Amino acid sequence: MTDWIEVAHIDDIPRQGARVVKTAAGDIAVFRTVDDEVFALRDKCPHKGGPLSQGIVHGRKVACPLHDWKINLDSGLAVAPDVGCAARYPVRVVDGAVSLSLTPEA
Amino acid sequence: MSRMKLVLVGNGMAGMRTLEELLKAAPDLYDITVFGDEPHPNYNRIMLSPVLAGEQTVEQIVLNSRDWYADNGIKLHTGKRVVKIDRKNRFVETDDGTRENYDRLLLATGSKSFILPVPGADLPGVIGFRDIADVDAMISASGQYKTAVVIGGGLLGLEAANGLKLRGMDVSVVHIAPWLLERQMDEPASRLLQKNLEEKGLKFLLQKQTAELVRGESGRVCALKFKDGETIAADLVVMAVGIRPNTALAESAGLQCNRGLVVNDTMQTFDPRIYAVGECVSHRGIAYGLVAPLFEQARVCANHLAEHGVARYQGSMTSTKLKVTGIDLFSAGNFMGGEGHEEIVLQDAGRGSYKKLVLKDNKLAGAVLYGDTLDGAWYFELMRDATDVSDFRDKLLFGRHHIGDSGAGGGMGDEMSRVMALPDTAEICGCNGVCKGDIIKAVREKKLFTLDEVRAHTKASGSCGSCTGLVETILAATAGGDYSTAPSKKPLCGCTEHTHDEIRAAIVEQGFKTTQEAMRGLGWKTPDGCTKCRPALNYYLLCAWPTEYVDDVQSRYINERAHGNIQKDGSFSVVPRMWGGLTNPKELRAIADVAEKFNVPEVKVTGGQRIDLFGIRKEDLPAVWKDLSDAGFVSGHAYGKAMRTVKTCVGSQWCRFGTQDSTGLGVKMEQLTWGSWMPHKFKLAVSGCPRNCAEATIKDFGVVCVDSGYELHVGGNGGIKVRITDLLTKVETEAQVLEFCAAFTQLYREEAHYLERTAPWVERVGLSHIKAKVVEDAANRKQLAERFLISQKPAQVDPWKERTAGALKREFMPLTA
């Protein structure tokens, strides 16, 4: 059973952009791609902890603003040749309402 | 649905690279079968010379292990030669009768040594130098016999001779031309090389033509007889007089061949189901033998096999390096010169160094470097970009660091040995902390062949680029020598085939008004670009349509989106503008108040004479800006690819040496240029006299006041590559300074590539070009200045004030859960 917490309307998140959600479990970045897909990752690059929410979103990837590592939004994995993973959080959009779960996916 | 069948004939580097690229692009499209006539899996053929020389082992040069084939579901047949292609029924057949059907066939049959058609050429002890079997034969001969003769004084011949010598044999090189490597070097360079190799114990017989190989009593070759009647003893003869494409199989199947299997720009043969890559191929009449162009072909071919259908191979320009440890040689292009060509030559026999550059119409047409090859990559770049070198022709020969590159360090002779003698722990890339051992490990383990690949995997030379030469040297020594070939044109990024210039021209000519329109119109390969092309397109569109373009905020890097500099902890820094570096107690008090109110952890004076407030949380930025804005400050744009600051000295108002009002002029220049988006950051300075206290001669646009007027200097840089400005011109009035400043700035805005500072831009297009547009053509100067003023109108709106008033609020407001 997932505990969904509504955090925003999809229009509050810029297309090809992200918003930071301040939570008890730390900062979570919620991304919206050019095709209006929504993803959520821990707002910390696996490289040196850069805030992924501040990166440029392109395709299903975000580029960390600190050293330009590319992170896959759907898996949280760094794009090769870099190696690392940002935790994913369950996210859903119902009638435009974006909800998060604070329990990261395994 | 059953998958299509792809058969690869030829288990070598080009064919296997194609499969690797294909598996990346479309992993599930084909059932793949590979045939190779050698008993080995794919190995790095370039490294056969080091194996022969005993510097590496066969195991070390294997590129794809048998496990790799199995893991990728590829059926591998080694030791089987395909002898028949049935195009009608679409199958291939091997010499042992194995048949395999195909939907697509890829031929990568490579090439074979050309064996001189002389009597005795088929004797035991006579071999070529193409594969592991040849190397094994040479190594085993070196254990049993004494004398070796290598026929052919080309790259391969010299590498074979060097290896056999290191294996203890007595080696002579027979060569038909008057000097060694006549296709790569001119005579003086070649003589230095010969002397060097003679010191290593090799012997040379030049202008000698082999007539016959003599059979000894044992049945093995025992001597060579030349056309002039002379003979020399030989227990082993290595033929290295050239290679011939292996086209027999293709020809037997009726595919058109003409000194190679003929392919088009999509690497297809005349049978559209059959593709071909590698040394067996003739593309636009050229058969390539170096790895980089072959990998470029592989990339294009894989793109089409994956049914993406967008890539084209348009030929490559190639350069050469010799893989003999301790000898550095580089050559590229037309190095012999000729009618209409000019030569610049430096010859220092004592130091064993020789450099020759061949120019045509003030552009570099060719180069030969011997001894000191550090600048080879740079010369190659100048050739590829067809850069007009007239402005730095006097320094061209001395290398890049003499025209401004201080970072690369001057390599003096035997660069390869110097670099390879460094310990593995030596730091090569100071920006990213990458050591020599890290690079070697990545090159070996990840099978890297190009500089771009090394950058992607290790980050070495990927930031400031000043260690590029060192990284290339390590790459050459580890993976093989011919990495430095580059495609003839350089696309903006992986999302497009178009260059910066093509894209800028298309935006204007085809009237693209948004990033999406431009991407669609120019056939972008990705849905919404990447971090390289999106910011570039946004800038190009903004520059082309200054009054109507709507900024694409999401395509801007965070610093420009948030109007502050992001720091390593995710906080931001704030730099208010201080015109010409002038300030007053009221402003300083306002800054002090902000620093206290927001608990700013650090306050620092910047290099551009401003005050920087560090450690501000993003959500506090609008409030900080409000206080600064209320005190009269606007953004200092210290975070943008934009006009930054005008640095000034005190000038005639106070200074006893000042000749003009440098501070006042600086303020006027800053009022003229602030707010302007640029291809890269842009810094200005005004010094009140030639003592130049404002350091105007390392700025993008610098003014040095003199008694009779103002010297205007451009293209300077005080960063990674310190570059002193070039003198643009001298003018008499402040009004002229402002007009030239606007015109130069606009020319840079309109012509430079995104992320290209003025220094490399000036070097790329040449100062003469800039003078022609800004100094000599007064009408054009006025038009440029006018266009700058038009674009400044919408640009000079303070972004801080807009955001203080609530614009783009959500950028700065976190959500909560």
| Residue B779 token pair | 């009408």
Distance CA B169, CA B53 (A): 12
Going by C-alpha positions, the residue among A93, A55, A86 that lies closest to residue A72 is A86
**Model ipTM?**
0.95
Task: Return phi, psi of residue B452, to 5°.
Answer: -60, -40
A18, closest residue in chain B (CA to CA)? B811
Q: Minimal Cα–Cα distance from A77 to chain B, Å?
A: 16
Q: Please indicate whether, in this complex, the C-beta atoms of A81 and B457 are within 8 angstroms of each other.
A: yes
Going by C-alpha positions, the residue among A68, A65, A53, A70 that lies closest to residue A14 is A53
Q: How does pLDDT run across B497-537, given as a tens digit for each residue?
A: 899 999 999 999 999 999 999 999 999 999 999 999 999 99
Beta pairing, strands B602-605 & B611-616: antiparallel
DSSP designation for B660: S
Q: Closest CB to B558: pick one of A27, A48, A65.
A: A65
Q: Please indicate whether, in this complex, the C-beta atoms of B817 and A22 are within 8 angstroms of each other.
A: yes
Q: Give pLDDT, residue B408.
A: 37
Alpha-carbon distance values, B708 to B209, B351, B657, B686 (Å): 72, 48, 14, 15
Q: Please indicate whether, in this complex, the C-beta atoms of A59 and B446 are within 8 angstroms of each other.
A: no
Q: Please indicate whether, in this complex, the C-beta atoms of B534 and A54 are within 8 angstroms of each other.
A: no
Find which of B528, B553, B561, B565 to mutate to test the A interface (most A CBs within 10 Å of its CB).
B528
Going by C-alpha positions, the residue among B666, B685, B674 that lies closest to residue B642 is B674
A70, closest residue in chain B (CA to CA)? B531
Distance CA A50, CA A46 (A): 8
B282-286 long-range contacts, Cβ below 8 Å, gap at least 24?
B282/B245, B282/B257, B282/B258, B283/B313, B283/B315, B284/B315, B285/B258, B285/B259, B286/B315
| Residue B280 token pair | 């067996």
| Residue B704 token pair | 């040095």
Distance CA B218, CA B234 (A): 13
Q: What is the pTM of this model?
A: 0.69
Whether B676 contacts B746, CB under 8 Å: no
To the nearest 10 degrees (0 to 180), the angle between helices B155-166 and B187-199 is: 10
Q: Cβ of B606: how many Cβ atoms within 10 Å? A: 17
Distance CA B609, CA B92 (A): 74
B619, closest residue in chain A (CA to CA)? A20
B809, closest residue in chain A (CA to CA)? A12
Whether B485 contacts B292, CB under 8 Å: yes
Q: Closest CB to B814: pick one of A17, A20, A58.
A: A20
Q: Please indicate whether, in this complex, the C-beta atoms of A22 and B816 are within 8 angstroms of each other.
A: yes
Q: Please indicate whether, in this complex, the C-beta atoms of B566 and A65 are within 8 angstroms of each other.
A: yes
Q: Which residues of A touch B (CB under 8 A)?
A: 5, 7-8, 12, 14-17, 19-24, 27-28, 30, 34-35, 48, 50-51, 54-59, 63, 65-66, 68, 70, 81, 100, 102
Q: Which residues pair with B231 in a beta bridge?
A: B225
Going by C-alpha positions, the residue among B477, B458, B471 that lies closest to residue B428 is B471
Q: Which residues pair with A39 in a beta bridge?
A: A31
Which residue type does B227 have? Answer: K
Strands across the sheet containing B203-206: B126-127, B236-239, B147-151, B170-175, B203-206
Task: Identify all chain B residues contacting A35, using CB atoms and an 8 Å cutoff.
Answer: 527
* H-only helix segments in B32-186: 48-52, 66-71, 132-144, 155-166
Q: Please indicate whether, in this complex, the C-beta atoms of A56 and B814 are within 8 angstroms of each other.
A: no
Q: Give pLDDT, residue B406.
A: 34
Q: Please indicate whether, in this complex, the C-beta atoms of B531 and A68 are within 8 angstroms of each other.
A: yes
Beta pairing, strands B572-574 & B611-616: antiparallel
A50, closest residue in chain B (CA to CA)? B570
Which residue type does B309 have? Answer: G
Q: Is the CATH code 3.40.50.300 the one for domain B4-110+245-313?
A: no
Going by C-alpha positions, the residue among B245, B7, B20, B242 that lies closest to residue B110 is B245
Low pLDDT (below 50) residues in chain B = 404-413, 483-487
The SS3 call for residue B35 is strand
Q: Please indicate whether, in this complex, the C-beta atoms of B814 and A21 are within 8 angstroms of each other.
A: yes
Which residue type does B313 have? Answer: Y
Q: Closest CB to A81: pick one of B456, B527, B815.
A: B456
Q: Please indicate whether, in this complex, the C-beta atoms of B570 and A102 are within 8 angstroms of each other.
A: no
**Residue B212 exposure: Cα atoms within 13 Å on the Cβ side:** 10
Q: Give pLDDT, residue B378.
A: 79
Distance CA B696, CA B77 (A): 67
Q: Closest CB to B531: pick one of A21, A30, A58.
A: A58
Q: Give pLDDT, residue B675.
A: 96
Whether A40 contacts A90, CB under 8 Å: yes
Confidence band for A52, pLDDT divided at 50, 70 and 90: very high
To the nearest 10 degrees (0 to 180), the angle between helices B155-166 and B132-144 is: 40
B457, closest residue in chain A (CA to CA)? A81
Q: Cβ of B308: how many Cβ atoms within 10 Å? A: 12
A63, closest residue in chain B (CA to CA)? B531
Domain range B643-795, CATH architecture: 2-Layer Sandwich (3.30)
Which residue type does A12 have? Answer: D
Taking one residue from A and the other from B, the number of pairs with CB-CB distance under 8 angstroms is 81
Task: Identify all chain A residues contacting B814, using CB atoms and an 8 Å cutoff.
Answer: 19-22, 27
Find which of B439, B538, B554 to mutate to test the A interface (most A CBs within 10 Å of its CB).
B554
- CATH class of the domain at B564-630: alpha beta
B446, closest residue in chain A (CA to CA)? A81
Q: How does pLDDT run across B464-498, given as a tens digit for each residue?
A: 776 777 888 888 778 765 544 444 577 899 899 89
Going by C-alpha positions, the residue among B538, B536, B516, B535 that lies closest to residue B527 is B516
- CATH class of the domain at B126-241: alpha beta
Rounded to the nearest integer, the mean pLDDT of chain A is 94
Count of H helices and E strands in chain A? 0, 9
Q: Which residues pair with B685 in a beta bridge?
A: B647, B702
* H-only helix segments in B578-661: 585-597, 621-630
CA dihedral B392→B394→B398→B400, nearest 10 degrees, is: 0
Distance CA B615, CA B567 (A): 8
Q: Please indicate whether, in this complex, the C-beta atoms of A54 and B526 are within 8 angstroms of each other.
A: no
Q: Please confirm whether the linkage preceding B491 is cis (ω < 30° from 0).
A: no
Find which of A4, A10, A16 to mutate to test the B interface (most B CBs within 10 Å of its CB).
A16
B643-795 has the same fold as B126-241: no
Q: Please indicate whether, in this complex, the C-beta atoms of B810 and A19 are within 8 angstroms of each other.
A: yes
Q: Closest CB to B527: pick one of A5, A21, A59.
A: A59
In chain B, domain spans: 4-110+245-313, 126-241, 500-556, 564-630, 643-795
Q: Please indicate whether, in this complex, the C-beta atoms of A56 and B555 are within 8 angstroms of each other.
A: yes
* H-only helix segments in B177-227: 187-199
Q: Cβ of B719: how many Cβ atoms within 10 Å? A: 13
Q: First-to-last CA distance in chain A?
A: 15
Which residue type does B17 have? Answer: R
Alpha-carbon distance values, B420 to B357, B429, B472 (Å): 27, 15, 12
Alpha-carbon distance values, B342 to A48, B354, B429, B742 (Å): 52, 17, 37, 38
DSSP designation for B619: G
Q: Closest CB to B568: pick one of A8, A66, A68.
A: A66
**Domains contained in chain A, CATH given:** 14-89 (2.102.10.10)
Number of residues that this document lists for chain A: 106
* Chain Cα centroid distance, residue B745: 28
Beta pairing, strands B281-283 & B486-487: unpaired
Q: Closest CB to B566: pick one of A54, A56, A58.
A: A54
> Residue for token digits 């996916």?
A105
Q: First-to-last CA distance in chain B?
A: 47
Q: Closest CB to B534: pick one of A8, A54, A58.
A: A58
Q: Give, for B19, the enclosing helix (H) or strand (E).
A: helix B13-25
| Residue A29 token pair | 């970045």
Q: Which residues of B touch A (CB under 8 A)?
A: 446, 456-457, 526-531, 534-535, 553-558, 562, 566, 568, 570, 618, 810, 814-817
Q: Give pLDDT, residue B403.
A: 56
Q: Please indicate whether, in this complex, the C-beta atoms of B815 and A22 are within 8 angstroms of each other.
A: yes
Q: Cβ of B348: how many Cβ atoms within 10 Å? A: 13
